[in-house]
């Protein structure tokens, strides 16, 4: 079967994968928009995690096929690894909650999910993340049986797929050994890492649907220059150094998408209001821990609840009646003082809220322990491998985050708000 995709053209899908896609667990993703409140700022951006996950699966094969073409793996092994990567990428977003990450704040306690212990402890008070729900759906829903039936003959289990997504080792040990080499790090890097299929799809897709160009990067050149790199009995993902600039462009594309699209002041505005709604109406909307009930928990069910709610934030969200942006700035801008502004607004009785978003180049930058897992730059002349963070100066150039500060006020108070702002700025010596 082939599924039409506006980004990648026709996406081939195997019969086994079709069974997964046809499951209710996967179909649920039709009801989860990729950008949450993003369409409030970019009306074209109504795309779902359903389409994204299909696209990411397709990208995953492109990545894998180049790497495998250089690895000399036997056909059968190659086929099994490929199936595993595609399936893991297809399923990586199954546990996403409605509309935005804000919904994770009302997730049930992680321990209520009853996840197996190899996925880690569930300390008191820790809430289930979307990754936890992904594991839950893979292991404890009808999907587990579908995967066993369809992919069992290839030696793939729900546990193996979960392991590739979460990075945790299942009880039976490693599943991706071949001739003494463990291919897990490489496969995992394709599923989740600095240059993974997830990011590679969503940047293109979000650019396409928002109409904003930042997310375009040179996917062909990057794909063509991926290589396997075996070190100490483990296979890692490597990129030939002629594609190092393309990789930098990819990282910068993502950075610019964050500061311009994902942290757009409208999305941030409604995320905040949803958070306030959750705080003020405990129990009104709930994320069920039970897989069968979780199937019904999507954007539409949250919207349905919001529509019937009496809460003030709910009504604002439903009818797109956000607070008004009074001011926004970054560290580069002189004369702004959050404390002074917020203090003055409070004193003047202007209802408001503030949100601060941190834009970073990569979650793998910064402190020592968070290096990009197993991405190397390969000098094909000398076969030298260098950790990507040591090769490119980009991580260093962008070592500090950018802080996007915003203050919003109640719409009918925008004029008094502006007067307060002018007064505060003037006091700071701004012309």
Interface with a second copy in residues 366-385 (CB under 8 A) = 379, 381-384
How many Cβ atoms from other residues are within 10 Å of residue 350's Cβ?
Answer: 21
Judged by CB under 8 A, the chain residues 39 through 78 that form the site for a second copy are 39, 41-44, 46-48, 50-51, 54
Phi, psi of 285 (to 5 degrees): -125, 135
Cβ closest to a second copy, residue 414 vs residue 425: 425
CB of 51: closest distance to a second copy in angstroms? 4
Phi/psi for 119 (5° steps) reads: -85, 5
Question: Per-residue string for binding with a second copy, 392-421, x by CB under 8 A?
Answer: xx---xx----------------------x
String marking each residue 221-240 x if it binds a second copy according to CB under 8 A: x--x----------------
For residue 36 the two structure tokens come to 């949450």
Q: Is 152 in the site for a second copy (CB under 8 A)?
A: no
CB of 2 to a second copy, least distance (A): 6
Q: Residues 19, 127, 230, 252: which binds a second copy (CB under 8 A)?
A: 252
Residue 293 within binding range of a second copy, rule CB under 8 A:
no
In the list 118, 208, 262, 353, the residue contacting a second copy (rule: CB under 8 A) is 208
Strand partners, 9: 5
Closer residue to a second copy in complex, CB, 107/317: 317
**d(Cα 389, Cα 116) in Å, to the nearest integer?**
34
Structure tokens at 28: 């649920």
Choosing from 69, 155, 172, 335, the residue that interacts with a second copy (CB under 8 A) is 335
Choice between 106 and 261, CB closer to a second copy: 261
Looking at 303, 371, 403, 423, which residue binds a second copy (CB under 8 A)? 303
Report the C-alpha gap between 134 and 91 in whole angstroms: 7
Q: Is 294 near a second copy (CB under 8 A)? A: no
Q: Which is nearer to a second copy, 24 or 148 (CB)?
A: 24
According to the binding rule CB under 8 A, does residue 296 interact with a second copy? yes
Residues 6 or more apart whose CB falls under 8 angstroms from that of 150 comprise 15, 16, 17, 19, 20
Distance CA 18, CA 16 (A): 5
Stretch binding a second copy (CB under 8 A), from 56-64, 160-168, 277-285, 320-328: 320-328
Q: Which is closer to a second copy, CB of 39 or CB of 196?
A: 39
Strands 234-240 and 375-379: parallel
Range 105-134, binding a second copy (CB under 8 A)? none
Q: Is 16 in the site for a second copy (CB under 8 A)?
A: no
């Amino acid at each position: 079967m082939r599924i039409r995709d506006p980004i990648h053209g026709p996406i081939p899908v195997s019969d086994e994968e079709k069974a997964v896609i046809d499951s209710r667990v996967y179909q649920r993703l039709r009801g989860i928009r990729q950008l949450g409140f993003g369409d409030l700022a970019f009306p074209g951006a109504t795309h779902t995690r359903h389409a994204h996950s299909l696209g990411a699966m397709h990208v995953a094969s492109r990545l894998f096929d180049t790497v495998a073409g250089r690895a000399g793996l036997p056909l059968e092994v190659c086929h099994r690894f490929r199936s595993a990567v595609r399936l893991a990428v297809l399923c990586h977003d199954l546990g996403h909650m409605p509309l935005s990450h804000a919904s994770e704040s009302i997730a049930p306690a992680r321990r209520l999910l009853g996840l197996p212990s190899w996925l880690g402890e569930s300390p008191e008070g820790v809430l289930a993340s979307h990754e936890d729900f992904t594991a839950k759906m893979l292991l404890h829903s009808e999907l587990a049986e579908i995967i066993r039936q369809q992919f069992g003959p290839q030696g793939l289990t729900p546990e193996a797929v979960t392991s590739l997504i979460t990075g945790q080792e299942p009880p039976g040990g490693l599943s991706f050994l071949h001739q003494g080499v463990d291919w897990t790090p490489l496969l995992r890097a394709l599923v989740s890492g600095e240059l993974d299929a997830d990011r590679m799809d969503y940047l293109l897709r979000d650019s396409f649907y928002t109409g904003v160009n930042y997310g375009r990067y040179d996917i062909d050149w990057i794909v063509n220059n991926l290589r396997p790199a075996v070190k100490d009995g483990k296979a890692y993902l490597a990129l030939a150094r002629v594609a190092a600039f393309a990789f930098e462009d990819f990282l910068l594309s993502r950075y610019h998408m964050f500061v311009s699209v994902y942290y757009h002041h409208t999305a941030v505005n409604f995320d905040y209001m949803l958070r306030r709604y959750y705080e003020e109406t405990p129990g009104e909307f709930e994320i069920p821990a039970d897989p069968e009930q979780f199937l019904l928990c999507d954007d539409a069910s949250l919207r349905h609840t919001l529509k019937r709610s009496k809460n003030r934030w709910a009504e604002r969200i439903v009818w797109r009646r956000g607070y008004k942006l009074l001011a926004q700035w970054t560290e580069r801008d002189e004369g702004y003082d959050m404390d002074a502004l917020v203090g003055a607004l409070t004193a003047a009785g202007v209802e408001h809220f503030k949100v601060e978003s941190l834009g970073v180049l990569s979650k793998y930058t910064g402190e020592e322990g968070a290096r990009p897992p197993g991405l190397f730059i390969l000098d094909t002349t000398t076969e030298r491998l260098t950790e990507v963070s040591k090769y490119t100066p980009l991580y260093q150039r962008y070592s500090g985050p950018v802080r996007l500060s915003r203050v919003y006020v109640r719409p009918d108070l925008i004029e008094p708000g502006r007067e307060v702002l002018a007064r505060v700025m003037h006091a700071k010596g701004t012309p």
